Amino acid sequence: MTFSSARYNDGSQNPPRLRLQFALWGLEKLPMNAPEEARWTLDEKFARLKSAGFEAVECWLTDDNEAETRAALDRHGLRLVLGHRPFTPADIDATVARAVRLQADFVFAQPADAFTTLETVAELVRYGQNAAAKHNLPFFVETHRNNFTETIPQTVALLNAVPDVGITGDLSHFVVVGEFYGWADERAIDRMVPVLEKVSHLHGRVSSGEAVQVDVGDGSGQTPQFFVSLWAAAMRQWLIGAKPGDVFPFAPELGPPRYALTLPDGSEFSDRWEQGLVMANLARQAWREAGGG
């Protein structure tokens, strides 16, 4: 296997494949509207993920919870992916060290903020790539609001500065920032192509173009199917250069309030666990449409 910081490869000779994983953050405050004492424990969360066919968990960990989380992952046979938001090389060093210590598959980063200069962010991303590559860890950059990558033009500028970077695509942010509705004359895919060409990991959240996270029912409506077309376009580009052992990770990431819309009393009306399962099915649909096996 030839190491690439812009792709995750499991070291096998298996055909390129889709891997479903889940964001731990998206399991906070579940089951929906349950009192705190009735919320799922870490083991209950991981047992549900394993039973539903998810293979890995995306976590943002600290020194205080890393041992507990690693032990729970091992009990349930789940793999680990680490996310972080670095502002300095020291932030990256700490997360890479944690990733090595906990045997994470790869690291993704939400770089700095929207007010940091391109030069500073590009330098930070290069540092992250190099620091992770020393341990054969892929290092991806996430598209996200209030990061440098919150808009398509800024993300393209970063890709021009660091063309070999892999992208964690949370396209819900592009859609809400750009106020896309999925209409043909918006040319959403055309505008995103320079970014979609670099996507090696996707987060499953659907935006209406106004709200960043909406309930999509069974996923058959126009809005979720618009996202399927975006995800399939990214997967199609990734498959062009895919080699044996390459893995395309997709993670439902439906955040608790205030990401989740609520009623005036603060209660949720959308079951994020059930919606996460819908996101997984939409990912499978996108993979098929992209020509994946």
Domain ranges for the chain? 9-290
Confidence of residue 3 (pLDDT cuts 50, 70, 90): confident
For the stretch 18-59, pLDDT in tens is 999 999 999 999 999 999 999 999 999 999 999 999 999 999
Q: H helices within the chain, ranges in order?
A: 42-51, 66-76, 89-102, 118-133, 152-161, 171-177, 188-196, 222-240, 272-290
174-227 pLDDT, tens digit per residue, is: 999 999 999 999 999 999 999 999 999 999 999 999 999 999 999 999 999 999
Amino acid residing at 172: S
CATH architecture of residue range(s) 9-290: Alpha-Beta Barrel (3.20)
- pLDDT of the residue at 258: 92
Q: Is the peptide bond before 138 cis (omega within 30 degrees of 0)?
A: no
Using an 8 Å Cβ cutoff, are 82 and 123 in contact?
no
Is the bond preceding residue 284 a cis peptide, omega within 30 degrees?
no
In 3D space, the residue among 111, 113, 146 whose CA is nearest the CA of residue 125 turns out to be: 111
Answer yes or no: are the C-beta atoms of 283 and 231 closer than 8 Å. Answer: yes
pLDDT digits (tens, 9 = 90+) for 224-269: 999 999 999 999 999 999 999 999 999 999 999 999 999 999 999 9
- Closest to 83 measured CA to CA, from 8, 25, 41, 38: 25
Crossing angle of the two packed helices 89-102 and 66-76, in degrees rounded to 10: 40
pLDDT of residue 293: 77
pLDDT at 1 over 90: no
- Distance, in Å, from the CA atom of 213 to the CA atom of 253, rounded to the nearest integer, reads 10
Say if pTM beats, i.e. exceeds, 0.85. yes
- Res 118 pLDDT > 60: yes
What is the residue-averaged pLDDT of the chain? 97
pLDDT, one tens digit per residue, over 165-175 is 999 999 999 99
